[in-house]
């Protein structure tokens, strides 16, 4: 063998959990045994986004992606692929031949076909802990460009031209935000007289079911840092802060390393790249409060207090951290910045739809074949995402809804599958873009239960400062619990709607203003399920326990396993004869259902 | 044991000294609480008093901050903290059943701790490993694609490892 190979092992959380360390060990051993150590380079990369097929191993050249690799497969891969040059077809993820426009490296998998990677352009390709890898892919070139060729004003103009909007969910135009912060503190804004300003990266990804920020930082921390430094230059700040969840230890570690490396190379610190611009970046850990994703609450948390929001205005761009003008953007927004600078805002604005430019990263999860992280151009339809990229619903089940925007968003039924993904279209359909969680729901889930699930979350996370959110969400939850327990009345549905719209209008911050969305959107799109719960006392998905009845069918062989399993002795019957459940005694625990080997117990 | 306690105290003090004189020193309170919890496993009243004295922040304020954030424990956790993820992806893939199975196996409720102090049980709202949902985190290790049966096996592994020691 004379060829040199580069083997990339995915080192994202999914693959770590699935045992990529053992793969690496086995690989190193095999390479040693075959005397190949000097011919093959092993790379660790961030999340490739194909978490369900992990651990993932990619071999280049040839762009062969191996999935579900076990240490036992390694000898075969080394002997067949590396020594004989024959990829192991059994393990390779091979699908339709490729039409990806951007990364030949991702060539052969259909999963990447409709994707376009801007924010995640380096994720899965570079070693996130190696700054040289980032530099080799034009890393920090955008920073050099703005420091040498552009005035802060020009940088802001470029970002405005790109049409980039905040990726945290609300979609505020990024360039305008930068301009507002840059102007604050000058003479025409007397409120804040100081020229001290801050740049914050919001990495407090609290949405249940979303992991975009985590993967972006784990896979390519430098691009986020580079974006922040450029932002600092544009608005005239000297200090940047990354506010990140403490629950993401790997991301925090990689970020720390990236900051240290960048400092060593002179990209962070005093007189960056010999210019007179100085900028430093610090990490602050969150501590598990969803409300801290709201910018004023986040600021309060960085200041060391309880993370409660305050009324706006004044906006953080005028009066933010420590009372100084502050620019807050989400991880994904920052990750887009180096591309906007290098490839021009004009180019960026050619991607996407008229009012939503660029791409959006989604964490695709739930009842879908390919779960993982994807990035698509704005305007891609939900159907393309769920069926072409996601591979559809597993086990031939029926699609019921897709949930976007997490606890602030809504559930869209099948009739909205052809909705293009952009800020306005999703809002029109009754959901929101949100930060990028996308959960696919099939027939096994009850929509009332899903609404209850989200409300339980927001109710629990409500900081308690304003009454509509604190009390209102509690009352809404009470009503939902009542409905799922079969005690609902028709007026409860109307009350939910009234209460919901009141909370939306009267709450102080984004958490309360959006908390009723999952309930309102499910009432709008799945009203029949609510009515079934109320009128017929039935849950069609068989999720709401109190509305279920368990019955034993003629398939029963009388083995007695259910009788033994029943904790309240509600099942009677003699051996080898059909057993019966006493519905009055049954507590609907489901123990008999899971014990029965003959599928003789059904839930209705 | 005595010595170790002293070391922890010293380490905490050094950490506080390293941040309190920085600009906006008070803002490092949450970082200090993270440090303290990392050392002691939880935030006791005594630790909060110590921090209050060293940072010159009222204990009442520290208490307010510590109780606001879910991440901080006010009671000692078990040797292994079992976090069952109830994020959306895990939820639609059957996390409630996993939680039931864990509760039944450990015979404790949420926030509880087993008699042998080996396990304590808590909820997590998305661990960011939705691709392998449903997940359960034991200590700092994430276990994915759980079923009610598999999760009990996982807990048993920890029990076994403990016995060996």
Q: Is the pLDDT confidence value at A164 over 90?
A: yes
Average pLDDT of the residues in A454-479: 95
Is residue A62 helix, strand or coil? coil
Scan for tokens 């739809």, then name that residue: A353
- In this structure, how many other beta carbons lie within 10 angstroms of the beta carbon of residue B81? 18
Please name the residues between 120 and 159 in chain B that touch chain A, using a CB distance below 8 Å.
124-133, 135, 140-144, 148
Q: Which long-range contacts (CB under 8 A, 24 or more apart) does B54-63 make?
A: B54/B13, B54/B16, B54/B17, B54/B20, B55/B16, B55/B20, B55/B25, B55/B26, B55/B29, B57/B26, B57/B29, B61/A305, B62/B29, B62/B33
Rounded distance between C-alpha atoms, residue A586 and residue A594, angstroms: 15
A102 with A117: CB under 8 angstroms?
Answer: yes
Average pLDDT of the residues in A202-210: 87
B34 contacts A54? CB cut-off 8 A: no
Q: Is the pLDDT confidence value at A93 over 90?
A: no
A398 with A363: CB under 8 angstroms?
Answer: no
Rounded distance between C-alpha atoms, residue A327 and residue A201, angstroms: 8
Q: Between A and B, how many residue pairs show a Cβ–Cβ distance under 8 A?
A: 140
Q: Is the pLDDT confidence value at A96 over 70?
A: no
Question: Measured between CB atoms, which of A51, A208, A285 is closest to B87?
Answer: A208
Scan for tokens 């305050």, then name that residue: A310
Q: Is A248 on the interface with B (CB under 8 A)?
A: yes
A567 with A590: CB under 8 angstroms?
Answer: no
Residue % of chain A over a pLDDT of 90 = 63
Q: Which two tokens stand for residue A285?
A: 């850990």
Per-residue confidence (pLDDT) for residue B3, from 0 to 100: 61
Q: Measured between CA atoms, how close is B24 to chain A, in angstroms?
A: 8
Rounded distance between C-alpha atoms, residue A308 and residue A85, angstroms: 59
Bigger pLDDT: A469 or A1? Answer: A469
Q: Is B72 on the interface with A (CB under 8 A)?
A: yes
Residue range B102-136, pLDDT digits in tens: 999 999 999 899 999 999 999 887 887 888 889 99
Contact residues on chain A for B65, CB-CB shorter than 8 A: 304-306
Q: Is the pLDDT confidence value at A464 over 90?
A: yes
Judged on CB neighbours under 10 Å (0-12, 13-18, 19+), A148 is exposed
Q: Is the pLDDT confidence value at A1 over 70?
A: no
The CATH number of A549-603 is which of 3.30.70.20, 3.90.1150.10, 3.40.50.800, 3.40.50.300?
3.30.70.20
Contact residues on chain B for A280, CB-CB shorter than 8 A: none
Task: Classify strands A372-377 and A550-552 as parallel, antiparallel or unpaired.
Answer: unpaired
Q: Measured between CA atoms, how close is A303 to chain B, in angstroms?
A: 4
Residue range B55-83, pLDDT digits in tens: 999 999 999 999 999 889 999 999 999 99
**CATH number of the domain at A5-112, please?**
3.40.30.10
Q: Is the pLDDT confidence value at A94 over 70?
A: no
Task: Identify the closest residue of chain A to B142 by CA–CA distance.
Answer: A17
H or E segment at A374?
strand A372-377
- State the first-to-last Cα distance of chain A, in angstroms, to the nearest integer: 63
Q: Is the pLDDT confidence value at B1 over 50?
A: no
Average pLDDT of the residues in A361-372: 90
Per-residue confidence (pLDDT) for residue A187, from 0 to 100: 52
Q: Is the pLDDT confidence value at A109 over 90?
A: no
Residue range A253-276, pLDDT digits in tens: 999 999 999 999 999 999 999 999
Number of Cα atoms under 13 Å in the Cβ half of residue B150: 10
Q: Is the pLDDT confidence value at A48 over 80?
A: no
Per-residue confidence (pLDDT) for residue A190, from 0 to 100: 55
A285 contacts B26? CB cut-off 8 A: no
CATH topology for A447-536 is de novo design (two linked rop proteins) (1.20.1440)
Nearest 10 degrees: Cα torsion A484, A488, A491, A495: -40
B130 contacts A365? CB cut-off 8 A: yes
Question: Measured between CB atoms, which of A17, A367, A594 is closest to B129?
Answer: A17
Per-residue confidence (pLDDT) for residue A372, from 0 to 100: 84
Residue range A274-302, pLDDT digits in tens: 999 999 999 999 998 999 999 999 999 99
Q: Which CATH class is domain B80-164?
A: alpha beta
Query: How many residues appear in chain B?
Result: 165
Rounded distance between C-alpha atoms, residue A147 and residue A9, angstroms: 36
Contact residues on chain A for B123, CB-CB shorter than 8 A: none
pLDDT grade, residue A191 (50/70/90)?
A: low
Picking from A310, A239, A220, A331, the residue whose alpha carbon sits closest to that of residue A278 is A239
Architecture category of domain A131-348 in CATH: 3-Layer(aba) Sandwich (3.40)
- In this structure, how many other beta carbons lie within 10 angstroms of the beta carbon of residue A377? 20
Q: Measured between CA atoms, how close is B111 to chain A, in angstroms?
A: 15
Per-residue confidence (pLDDT) for residue A178, from 0 to 100: 96
Contact residues on chain B for A306, CB-CB shorter than 8 A: 64-65, 68
Per-residue confidence (pLDDT) for residue A100, from 0 to 100: 35
Please name the residues between 366 and 405 in chain A that touch chain B, using a CB distance below 8 Å.
366-367, 371-373, 403
A511 with A461: CB under 8 angstroms?
Answer: yes
Measured on CA atoms in the order A339, A345, A350, A353, is the torsion positive or negative?
positive
Q: Is the pLDDT confidence value at A43 over 90?
A: no
Average pLDDT of the residues in A135-159: 94
Contact residues on chain B for A288, CB-CB shorter than 8 A: 69-71
Q: Which of A79-88, A158-167, A416-425, A572-581 has the lowest mean pLDDT?
A: A79-88
**Widest distance between CA atoms in chain B:** 52
Q: Is A207 on the interface with B (CB under 8 A)?
A: yes
A288 contacts B69? CB cut-off 8 A: yes
Here the ipTM equals: 0.89
A302 contacts B129? CB cut-off 8 A: no
Mean confidence (pLDDT) of chain A: 89
Contact residues on chain A for B93, CB-CB shorter than 8 A: 366-367
pLDDT grade, residue A38 (50/70/90)?
A: confident
Phi, psi torsion values for A268, nearest 5 degrees:
-130, 145
H or E segment at B124?
strand B119-124
Average pLDDT of the residues in A369-383: 92
H-state helical runs in A265-390: 295-302, 331-343, 345-348, 382-383
Phi, psi torsion values for A568, nearest 5 degrees:
-120, 15
Question: Measured between CB atoms, which of A306, A406, A437 is closest to B64?
Answer: A306
pLDDT grade, residue A462 (50/70/90)?
A: very high
Rounded distance between C-alpha atoms, residue A16 and residue A467, angstroms: 43
Residue A366 forms beta bridges with which residues? A440
Q: Is the pLDDT confidence value at A507 over 60?
A: yes
Architecture category of domain A359-442 in CATH: Roll (3.10)
Rounded distance between C-alpha atoms, residue A469 and residue A290, angstroms: 14
CA triple B149-B150-B153, angle to 5 deg: 95
Average pLDDT of the residues in B4-30: 92
| Per-domain boundaries in chain A | 5-112, 131-348, 359-442, 447-536, 549-603
Q: Is the pLDDT confidence value at A95 over 70?
A: no
Per-residue confidence (pLDDT) for residue A232, from 0 to 100: 96
Residue range A529-559, pLDDT digits in tens: 999 999 999 999 988 988 988 889 999 999 9
Supply the DSSP symbol for A97: P
H-state helical runs in A423-560: 423-429, 447-461, 467-484, 490-506, 510-514, 517-525, 527-531
| Per-domain boundaries in chain B | 2-68, 80-164
Per-residue confidence (pLDDT) for residue A280, from 0 to 100: 96
Per-residue confidence (pLDDT) for residue A194, from 0 to 100: 54
Q: What is the DSSP string of A457-481?
A: HHHHH--SSSHHHHHHHHHHHHHHH
H or E segment at A108?
none
3-state secondary structure A205-220: CCCCCCCHHHHHHHHC
């Amino acid at each position: 063998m004379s060829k040199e190979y580069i083997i990339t092992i995915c080192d994202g959380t999914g693959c770590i959990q699935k045992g990529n360390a053992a793969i690496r060990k086995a690989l190193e051993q095999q390479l040693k045994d075959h005397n190949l150590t000097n011919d093959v380079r092993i790379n660790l990369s961030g999340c490739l986004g194909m978490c369900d097929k992990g651990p993932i191993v990619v071999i280049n050249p040839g762009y062969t992606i191996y999935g579900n690799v076990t240490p036992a497969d390694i000898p075969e891969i080394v002997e067949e692929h590396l020594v004989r040059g024959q990829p192991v077809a059994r393990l390779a993820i091979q699908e339709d031949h490729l039409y990806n426009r951007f990364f030949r490296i991702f060539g052969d998998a259909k999963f990447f076909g409709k994707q376009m990677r801007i924010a995640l352009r380096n994720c899965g390709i570079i070693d996130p802990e190696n700054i040289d890898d980032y530099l080799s892919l034009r890393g920090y070139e955008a920073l050099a460009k703005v420091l040498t060729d552009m005035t802060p004003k020009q940088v802001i103009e470029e970002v405005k031209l790109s049409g980039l909007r905040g990726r945290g969910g609300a979609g505020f135009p990024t360039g305008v935000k930068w301009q507002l912060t840059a102007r604050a503190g000058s003479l025409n804004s007397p409120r804040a007289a100081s020229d001290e300003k801050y740049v914050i990266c919001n990495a407090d990804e609290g949405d249940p079911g979303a992991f975009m920020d985590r993967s972006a930082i784990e896979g390519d921390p430098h691009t986020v840092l580079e974006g922040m430094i450029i932002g600092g230059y544009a608005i005239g700040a000297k200090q940047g802060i990354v506010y990140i969840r403490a629950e993401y230890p790997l991301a925090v570690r990689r970020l720390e390393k990236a900051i240290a490396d960048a400092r060593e190379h002179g990209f962070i610190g005093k007189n960056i790249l010999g210019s007179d611009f100085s900028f430093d970046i610090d990490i602050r850990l969150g501590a598990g409060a969803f409300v801290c994703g709201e910018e004023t609450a986040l600021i309060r948390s960085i200041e060391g207090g309880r993370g409660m929001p305050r009324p706006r205005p004044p906006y953080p761009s005028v009066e933010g951290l420590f009372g100084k003008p502050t620019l807050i953007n989400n991880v994904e927004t920052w990750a887009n910045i180096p591309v906007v600078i290098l490839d021009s805002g004009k180019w960026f604005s050619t991607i996407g739809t008229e009012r939503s430019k660029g791409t959006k990263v989604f964490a695709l999860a739930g009842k879908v074949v390919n779960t993982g992280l994807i990035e698509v151009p704005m305007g891609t339809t939900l159907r393309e995402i769920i069926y072409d990229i996601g591979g559809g619903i597993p086990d031939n089940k029926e699609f019921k809804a897709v949930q976007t925007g997490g606890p602030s968003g809504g559930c869209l039924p099948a009739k909205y599958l052809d909705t293009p993904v952009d800020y306005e279209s999703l809002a029109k359909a009754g959901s929101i873009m949100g930060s990028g969680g996308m959960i696919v729901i099939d027939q096994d889930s009850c929509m009332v239960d899903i609404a209850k699930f989200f409300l339980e979350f927001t109710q629990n996370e409500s900081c308690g400062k304003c009454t509509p959110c604190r009390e209102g969400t509690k009352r809404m939850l009470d009503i939902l619990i009542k409905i799922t327990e079969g005690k609902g009345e028709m007026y409860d549905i109307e009350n939910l709607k009234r209460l919901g719209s009141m909370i939306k209008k009267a709450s102080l911050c984004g958490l309360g203003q959006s908390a009723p969305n999952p309930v309102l959107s499910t009432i709008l799109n799945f009203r029949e399920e609510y009515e079934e719960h109320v009128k017929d006392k039935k849950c069609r998905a068989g999720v709401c326990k109190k509305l279920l009845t368990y019955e034993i069918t003629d398939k029963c062989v009388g083995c007695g396993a259910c009788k033994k399993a029943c904790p309240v002795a509600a099942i009677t019957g003699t051996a080898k004869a059909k057993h019966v459940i006493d519905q009055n005694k049954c507590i609907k625990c489901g123990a008999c259902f899971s014990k029965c080997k003959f599928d003789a117990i059904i839930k209705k | 044991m005595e010595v170790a306690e002293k070391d922890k105290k010293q380490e905490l003090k050094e950490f506080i000294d390293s941040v309190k004189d920085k600009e906006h020193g008070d803002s490092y309170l949450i970082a200090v609480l993270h440090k303290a919890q990392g050392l002691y496993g939880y935030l006791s009243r005594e630790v909060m008093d110590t921090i209050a004295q060293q940072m010159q922040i009222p204990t009442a304020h520290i208490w307010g901050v510590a109780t606001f954030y879910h991440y901080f424990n006010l009671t000692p956790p078990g040797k292994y903290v079992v976090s069952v993820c109830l994020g959306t992806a895990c939820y639609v893939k059957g996390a409630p059943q996993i939680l039931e199975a864990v509760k039944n196996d450990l015979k404790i409720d949420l926030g509880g701790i087993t008699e042998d102090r080996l396990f304590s049980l808590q909820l997590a709202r998305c661990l960011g490993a939705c691709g392998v949902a449903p997940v359960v985190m034991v200590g700092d290790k994430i276990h994915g694609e759980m079923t009610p049966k598999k999760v009990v096996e996982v807990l048993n592994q920890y029990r076994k490892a403990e016995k060996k020691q």
